[in-house]
Chains A and B, each alone.
Chain A
Amino acid sequence: MSSENVAVPSPSAPPALPTDDEPKYGGHTRFELELEFVQSLGNPYYLNHLAARKLLSNPSFVAYLDYLQYWSRPPYLKYLTYPGPTLKNLQLLQTERFRQDIISPDLVNAMVQEGMRAAVEWHRET
């Protein structure tokens, strides 16, 4: 991930700190909207939905996904309430192969199954 950051430093720069007269989008700040979106990426069904809308093959959207990587760094990192799947999927979405493959329901189901099992098993004492 770091190498990609080095390769494309400008789009992944985090947004500037908000000012008082920050524009709101439907009553929500950009911070709220992007936080909600980046966390929604943790849901495999949502990724499939995005792929079905052909967004994942859109270069602008891919650039946006790259830009969203600022959520993997402080001070934004600590606002993620689903850090595991969110960051993992964000990282996966940076690869071309995954963006193409997530359209497959089999992969979505496998991710769902794995995620649900991992949620139970990660804290188990073996």
Chain B
Amino acid sequence: MDKYMDERFERVQRALTSLIDSITKYTPSTTQAHDLAAADKELSDGLTELQTHQNNLLRIQELRKETEDLDAQIKSTVSLLWSTRKEITGTPTTSYPSSGPRYDFTYTDLLNYARRISPYTLPPPGVTNGVDLSAPPADQQATASAEQTPVTATSDSVPAPNGAAVASTASQPTDPSQPDAAPQQTSFSTALPEHMTEAVNLLEGAVFYPWPGEERIRSGALDLCQRLADAGVDPKGYDPEEQERQRQAEAEERKRREAIEDAERKRREEERFAQMARERAAAAERERLMSHDAGGAGQASPGAAGRQEKKQFQFMGGLDDDEDED
């Protein structure tokens, strides 16, 4: 480019020199002037071209810089990728013992189980087992002191009917020589009396054990077996419900048998009655026949004998009717 421009400069210079020469020799010629003008025009063209060239150069430089930037970016990205990958592959994964047993379960199983055991693993709301929930866990000293601080804090904030009371309440808890007065004052204003807290909170003072209690163990199936063994019964194969069922079945069977026997006895009784009635009727018949055979002697009192006979007949007649019904 320099050469290109130099040529044009030279040409302009030459044209100018020759023009000046011709002017100094007083022989100016328009051709030389035209040459100069043409050279000058070419020079300005060349300058324009130079400008374009410079612009292009600048642009090329910009692009080169941009490329370098992008290259650096790509490089850093790739290196980051590489290091990340290395990190990922290098991360120690939790390795479960391959020899240990594994069990499959579903979330439904898990949730069902959690719901079932929750009453036995989580204390009911409000039951703290004596653990102070306002203190940070595993800090027994803080627990002890935290029990004291809320008392004074509440006593300070209690709205009192008159200013004097507020002043005395606020001053009393800070005085260690009067330990009785301050708690009394606070319990009157903030806490319910002891006999009422129980009515408000049914779980007041309740304790939660995360294991089966003694009374449950004592009333369980093992205890039943122990009692059976103590009573001399082998618990194996002995089922109280089964025994109960058998007893009931036996009682029913006995009742049924008794009913049958009852009916049988009743029937025999009736038969016996009927038999007796028949015998009596036969005896009465024989008597009647015998009295007929006695003849005139029996005629002396026909009314009395007839009444007697009628009476007996009535009695036997009733039985006869019974027999007929049978």
Tell me whether B326 is interfacial, beta carbon within 8 Å: no
Other-chain residue from B117, B217, B222, B240 in contact with A83 (beta carbon distance below 8 A): B117
Chain A residues contacting B105 (CB-CB under 8 Å) are: 74
Tell me whether B293 is interfacial, beta carbon within 8 Å: no
Tell me whether A97 is interfacial, beta carbon within 8 Å: no
Q: State whether A116 touches B209 (Cβ < 8 A).
A: yes
Q: State whether A85 touches B210 (Cβ < 8 A).
A: yes
Q: How many residues of B contact A (CB 8 A)?
A: 45
Tell me whether A121 is interfacial, beta carbon within 8 Å: yes
Other-chain residue from B122, B210, B240 in contact with A116 (beta carbon distance below 8 A): B210
Tell me whether B211 is interfacial, beta carbon within 8 Å: yes
Chain A residues contacting B240 (CB-CB under 8 Å) are: 26-27
Chain A residues contacting B221 (CB-CB under 8 Å) are: 25-28, 32-33, 36
Q: Measured between alpha carbons, how far is A27 from B233 in the docked complex, in Å?
A: 13
Q: State whether A25 touches B236 (Cβ < 8 A).
A: yes
How far is the CB of A45 from the nearest CB of chain B, in Å?
Answer: 6
Q: Measured between alpha carbons, how far is A120 from B217 in the docked complex, in Å?
A: 23
Q: Apart from A37-B222, A39-B212, A119-B122, what 14 extra A-B contacts exist at CB < 8 Å? A: A23-B236, A25-B221, A25-B238, A26-B235, A26-B240, A33-B221, A43-B212, A43-B217, A74-B103, A116-B208, A120-B128, A120-B131, A121-B137, A124-B133
Q: State whether B120 touches A82 (Cβ < 8 A).
A: yes
Q: State whether B239 touches A86 (Cβ < 8 A).
A: no
How far is the CB of A91 from the nearest CB of chain B, in Å?
Answer: 15
Q: State whether B129 touches A84 (Cβ < 8 A).
A: no
Q: How many residues of A contact B (CB 8 A)?
A: 38
Q: State whether B228 touches A26 (Cβ < 8 A).
A: yes
Q: Measured between alpha carbons, how far is A74 from B325 in the docked complex, in Å?
A: 77
Chain A residues contacting B236 (CB-CB under 8 Å) are: 23-25
How far is the CB of A84 from the nearest CB of chain B, in Å?
Answer: 6
Chain A residues contacting B123 (CB-CB under 8 Å) are: 119-120
Q: State whether B210 touches A115 (Cβ < 8 A).
A: yes
Name the residue on B nearest A5 (C-beta).
B101
Contact A119-B208, Cβ < 8 Å, known A82-B121, A124-B137: yes
Contact A126-B136, Cβ < 8 Å, known A2-B99, A25-B235, A74-B103: yes
Contact A24-B239, Cβ < 8 Å, known A36-B220, A74-B105, A81-B120: yes
Chain A 52-73, CB within 8 Å of chain B: the 1/0 string? 0000000000000000000001
- Tell me the residues in window 66-95 of chain B with beta carbons closer than 8 Å to chain A beta carbons: none
Other-chain residue from A39, A80, A86, A117 in contact with B131 (beta carbon distance below 8 A): A117
Q: Measured between alpha carbons, how far is A5 from B116 in the docked complex, in Å?
A: 29
Contact A27-B238, Cβ < 8 Å, known A82-B212, A116-B208, A124-B137: yes
Q: Measured between alpha carbons, how far is A115 from B99 in the docked complex, in Å?
A: 32
Chain A residues contacting B214 (CB-CB under 8 Å) are: 43, 45-46
Q: State whether A25 touches B210 (Cβ < 8 A).
A: no
Contact A27-B136, Cβ < 8 Å, known A116-B129, A117-B131: no
Tell me whether A92 is interfacial, beta carbon within 8 Å: no
Q: State whether B211 touches A82 (Cβ < 8 A).
A: yes
Other-chain residue from A2, A27, A82 in contact with B210 (beta carbon distance below 8 A): A82
How far is the CB of B100 from the nearest CB of chain A, in Å?
Answer: 6
- Tell me the residues in window 213-260 of chain B with beta carbons closer than 8 Å to chain A beta carbons: 213-214, 217, 220-222, 224-225, 228, 235-242
Name the residue on B nearest A77 (C-beta).
B103
Q: State whether B117 touches A27 (Cβ < 8 A).
A: no
- Tell me the residues in window 10-55 of chain A with beta carbons closer than 8 Å to chain B beta carbons: 23-28, 32-33, 36-37, 39-40, 42-46
- Tell me the residues in window 111-144 of chain B with beta carbons closer than 8 Å to chain A beta carbons: 113, 116-117, 120-123, 127-131, 133, 136-137
Chain A residues contacting B129 (CB-CB under 8 Å) are: 116-117, 119-120
Q: Measured between alpha carbons, how far is A26 from B236 in the docked complex, in Å?
A: 6
Chain A residues contacting B210 (CB-CB under 8 Å) are: 42, 82, 84-85, 115-116, 118-119
